[in-house]
Chain A
């Protein structure tokens, strides 16, 4: 089996997204912006309007905090770029897709299959995962310009909205395609099949941890 490589231009149109399959290797060119819990909390929970019309910027939202510095004159310097684990942002998805018009979510580790079914598929969005996870230097290389940094004062370097121009930004892997097929979910099932055999013959500890059984009334000793 050889992996398929696809170059995607941002903002990504429906036809380009429809051509992606879970497991494809993708590189991005165009514009994207970073946004994670700091941004979601401010926009969705506190009702503060985004500092810029996100949908007009890009339809790609990157779960990322860059290793960067911002000089006193506002000039930003980016070193490495790495995604953060996306599963923590699950409960904001429904409202975020509605507000942002996001079609490409980029992060680390993907989200639950249920999230794909309920939110990604109806909004015709894909999830791309970074590779490794530790290809920060390669991704940093793919950033050609920091177009703007919004909410730097309010949220700090890690949580601010970084608007980035990128070229051949990658590699990324399609974790969830438009049909909602998830690469990680398939891998998880393959590994789950081995679990019984791994534990076979190893006696359980004398004292269990509370909650280790699914029945919370079960004694632990």
Chain B
């Protein structure tokens, strides 16, 4: 049995790590970019970012004051038993979100969309999002904290089969040029592109592609992987660097996820996981062990329902 107290304690710690310690794959990626950038302003910005991450770690303060929208991805082994069941889990994650918001502190960004009332806890109606996936074998629970920034840089469009790869590329360029100038997308960002599914699936997998795959990771389907490479070099060709300065790329990486879709359509979503690409992962075991992990490993063959009856 996985205890609720362990879930709540681990969740608070994950939110602290997400807000303060940038994942190693993102850090290394930005470091490689800084090394390759010759334009002085773009380079200055990338170096200032690295200095900022050091300051965050030393002072234990968040990387960015806009601490985004805290949300949860949970992966459960099919044999996982949780104290209080999944309702217990949801309660623990909501309590942890409110506690971490006050303790770290995070900015209470979550408000009612119409009244703009701010409960001050980052908890409210359908907030934080808790998305749950399953694996056929295992008695563990993976908690993945994501503090999603990137208000700008995301969009959705219904394209058609005849639009093909040209259509996907054009729409991706539209998004980059819409939000990359003046650096509104807070680039270099990790771009997640969802293709296919129904509209909601398309949005969900695009966001997961941005937030839950490591920089440098490629999709196992060679055709999808080739598109990821093409989109990444297209982003580079825009020459839109950090803060929208001429010189560099707005994309640290591009991750594409696909889902079977209506024969007449090709929905596409684009999501920017801003340069504060905040995620933290841990696995809880029923004996109370908490295992630190770096890779969310969200997209398994089962998660993609590959070869599943």
- The answer to whether A205 and B170 touch across the interface, beta carbons within 8 angstroms, is yes
With both chains docked as a complex, state the minimum distance between the C-beta of B256 and any C-beta of chain A, in angstroms: 17
Q: Does B81 contact A (CB under 8 A)?
A: no
Q: Which of A117-157 contact B (CB under 8 A)?
A: 129, 131-141, 156-157
Q: Does B27 contact A (CB under 8 A)?
A: no
- The answer to whether B65 and A131 touch across the interface, beta carbons within 8 angstroms, is no
A109-B182, A109-B183 given; A136·B62 CB < 8 A: yes
Q: A2, A79, A203: which contacts B105 (Cβ < 8 A)?
A: A79
With both chains docked as a complex, state the minimum distance between the C-beta of A35 and any C-beta of chain B, in angstroms: 15
Nearest residue in A to B161 (C-beta to C-beta)? A206
A85-B184, A188-B182 given; A157·B120 CB < 8 A: yes
One digit per residue, 1 when the CB lies within 8 angstroms of any chain B CB and 0 when it does not, for chain A 144-182 equals: 000000000000111000000000000101000000000
One digit per residue, 1 when the CB lies within 8 angstroms of any chain A CB and 0 when it does not, for chain B 141-165 equals: 0000000000010000111101100
With both chains docked as a complex, state the minimum distance between the C-beta of B273 and any C-beta of chain A, in angstroms: 12
Nearest residue in A to B234 (C-beta to C-beta)? A198
With both chains docked as a complex, state the minimum distance between the C-beta of B293 and any C-beta of chain A, in angstroms: 24
**Chain B CB within 10 A, most for which of A80, A157, A195:** A80
One digit per residue, 1 when the CB lies within 8 angstroms of any chain A CB and 0 when it does not, for chain B 32-47 equals: 0000000011001100
- The answer to whether B107 and A66 touch across the interface, beta carbons within 8 angstroms, is yes
Q: B61, B162, B184: which contacts A109 (Cβ < 8 A)?
A: B184
- The answer to whether B52 and A198 touch across the interface, beta carbons within 8 angstroms, is no
- The answer to whether A205 and B44 touch across the interface, beta carbons within 8 angstroms, is no
Q: B48, B104, B160: which contacts A205 (Cβ < 8 A)?
A: B160
Q: Does A216 contact B (CB under 8 A)?
A: no
When distances are taken between beta carbons in the complex, the residues of chain A under 8 Å from B184 are: 85, 109
- The answer to whether A206 and B182 touch across the interface, beta carbons within 8 angstroms, is no
Q: Does A69 contact B (CB under 8 A)?
A: yes
When distances are taken between beta carbons in the complex, the residues of chain A under 8 Å from B51 are: 135, 138
A64-B65, A65-B65, A67-B106 given; A131·B163 CB < 8 A: no
Q: A136-B52, A191-B244, A199-B173 are in contact. List 18 more A-B contacts (CB 8 A).
A: A1-B40, A3-B44, A65-B65, A65-B66, A79-B62, A80-B61, A82-B64, A85-B184, A134-B275, A136-B64, A136-B66, A158-B108, A171-B48, A187-B245, A194-B239, A195-B177, A202-B170, A206-B162
22 contacts between A and B (CB under 8 A): A25-B44, A65-B65, A80-B62, A109-B182, A109-B183, A110-B182, A132-B52, A134-B52, A136-B52, A137-B52, A138-B52, A140-B62, A141-B59, A156-B120, A158-B118, A173-B243, A188-B182, A190-B239, A191-B239, A203-B163, A207-B158, A209-B157
B residues with a Cβ closer than 8 A to A are 40-41, 44-45, 48-49, 51-53, 55-56, 59, 61-67, 102, 104-109, 118, 120, 152, 157-160, 162-163, 166-167, 169-171, 173, 177, 181-184, 186, 234, 237-240, 242-246, 274-276
